[in-house]
Amino acid sequence: MSDVVLAARNIGVRFGGLVALDEVDIEVPSGALVGLVGPNGAGKTTLFAVLSGLLRPVKGTVELLGRDVTKMSPQARARMGMARTFQHLELFHDLTVRQHVVLAYRVRHSYSRLWRDLIDLRGFRRPPREEDRRVDSLVSLLGLESVAEVPVAALPLGTTRRVEVARALAAGSAVLLLDEPSSGLDPRETQQLSQVLRTIVDAEGVGILLVEHDVGMVLGLSSMVTVLDFGRRIAVGTPDEIRQNEQVKAAYLGDSADTDGSVA
């Protein structure tokens, strides 16, 4: 197995008297796609918030690239190499598709430009060739060329989901957390997105943690799957193992669920 880029161990989260996460472990190797599934209220989004630093756990640790980041802010984790998308989009409506990617690239590769640009007037000059190349390749990889100069507010949901992924990749991340990226997409768009995710894992070599309600998509794409229920991890294994797991069937999949995960 490849190196583990993200690991959460023994994570516990409480909201008052409610145990949202109880001793949950999860690992994401580099160059692999790990699925995270579970019924509503299982704790998937809470775990994502803990991993990305938006929520601090009452116990447990989060390690990014072998370093304990449990107490680090979201922006510090982002600069170390973690990026995420949101179920409810967190895009910057005024910015074009390309500007999203450019901003993410610069935050990761030349953060000081956030201040230096004010003084050295670099905003008036052409961007470095390397930046242009990387931005163009990501825009192309995600199939966004035709809308590159369009403000994201004018784009349909399926396209904006791809913008979030492009932005996350531009940050040069070692690990990507994708929170229900197919939410609101039609079957054709879901299929396109699945292809994009496969390409990213193969071409970019990043580790992806995918939370999804579309079980077919998760089981079709993932090399490993973790299942949560009521804040506890009830199963972890390959897609085939998960399909056969009686506890998972009882809690989540059911007997007749379409879980073949066929992805073109």
Task: Enumerate binding residues for another protein (CB under 8 A).
Answer: 52-54, 73-76, 78-79, 83-84, 86, 88-95, 99, 102-104, 106-108, 110-111, 113-115, 117-118, 121-124, 151-157, 160, 167, 171, 184
Nearer Cβ to another protein (177/253): 177
Q: Cα torsion at 162, 167, 170, 171 (round to 10°)?
A: -140
User: Rounded distance, CA 46 to CA 55, Å?
Assistant: 8
Q: Are strands 224-229 and 33-37 parallel, antiparallel or unpaired?
A: parallel
Residue 116 CB, shortest distance to another protein, in Å, is 8
Alpha-carbon torsion (7, 54, 48, 188), positive or negative = negative
According to DSSP, the residues that pair with 14 across neighbouring strands are 19
| Rounded CA separation 26/36 (Å) | 9
Beta-bridge partners for 235: 227
CB of 199 to another protein, least distance (A): 22
Smallest distance, Å, CB 209 to another protein?
14
Residue 247 C-beta: closest distance to another protein, Å: 30
Q: How far is the CB of 174 from another protein (least distance, A)?
A: 13
Q: Which is nearer to another protein, 115 or 202 (CB)?
A: 115
Task: Please say which residue, 118 or 203, places its beta carbon nearer to another protein.
Answer: 118
What spatial distance separates the first Cα and last Cα of the chain, rounded to whole Å? 26
Burial of 167 (0-12, 13-18, 19+ CB in 10 A): buried
Of 41 and 237, which CB lies nearer to another protein in the complex structure?
A: 41
Q: Of 89 and 263, which has the nearer Cβ to another protein? A: 89
106 or 243, CB closer to another protein? 106
CA distance 244 to 255: 10
Choose between 208 and 242: whose C-beta lies nearer to another protein: 208
Minimum separation from the CB atom of position 235 to another protein (A):
28
Q: How far is the CB of 196 from another protein (least distance, A)?
A: 20
How far is Cα 259 from Cα 243, in angstroms, rounded to an integer?
A: 8
**Closest residue by Cα to residue 194 from 221, 165, 164, 219:** 221
